[in-house]
């Protein structure tokens, strides 16, 4: 299975709520750089380790969003580095505001596992009333 196929399956697993499937595509020591513009992101937004990312990033999503989705427009496949281009949609619970925000994810793979994640998202579109 190519890195792109692994990544596409990871996004599909996220969409269907199969978090164990998502985690299985990550290296246990993944470095995760979440956009620091979100109120629930602590410090600089850098998290290390799949369990830390699960607890600090994924678990809080339903606490802050209703109907959160990632709409994928494209992938740029560089082999060990892949970029997802798309949008986040949903409702920011704090304001009740529906949103569609530009988002990109840059993933780095090593030995068939995601080892690094970098997020760029228009967080102002999401959290501003």
Instruction: Give the CATH number for residue 8.
Output: 3.10.450.50
pLDDT in tens, 19-28: 999 999 999 9
pLDDT in tens, 48-85: 999 999 999 999 999 999 999 999 999 999 999 999 99
Q: Looking at the domain assignment, is residue 32 inside a domain?
A: yes
How far apart are alpha carbons 65 and 47 in whole angstroms?
A: 20
What is the extent of the structural domain holding 66? Answer: 3-121
Q: Looking at the domain assignment, is residue 52 inside a domain?
A: yes
First-to-last CA distance in the chain? 43
Structural domain total, the chain: 1
pLDDT band at 41 (very low <50, low <70, confident <90, very high): confident
Query: CA neighbours within 13 Å on the CB side: how many for 120?
Result: 6
How far apart are alpha carbons 107 and 125 in whole angstroms?
A: 23
Q: Looking at the domain assignment, is residue 106 inside a domain?
A: yes
Q: Looking at the domain assignment, is residue 98 inside a domain?
A: yes
What pLDDT is attached to residue 24?
96
């Amino acid at each position: 299975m190519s890195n792109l196929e692994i990544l596409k399956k990871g996004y599909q697993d996220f969409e269907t709520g199969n978090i164990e499937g998502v985690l299985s595509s990550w290296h246990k020591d993944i470095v995760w750089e979440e956009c620091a513009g979100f109120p629930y992101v602590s410090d600089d937004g850098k998290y290390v380790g799949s369990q830390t990312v699960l607890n600090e990033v994924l678990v809080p999503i339903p606490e802050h969003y209703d109907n959160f989705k990632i709409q994928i427009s494209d992938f740029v496949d560089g082999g060990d580095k892949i970029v997802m281009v798309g949008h986040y949609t949903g409702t920011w619970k704090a304001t009740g505001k529906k949103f569609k925000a530009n988002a990109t994810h840059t993933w780095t793979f090593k030995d068939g596992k995601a080892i690094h994640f970098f997020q760029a998202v228009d967080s102002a579109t999401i959290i501003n009333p």
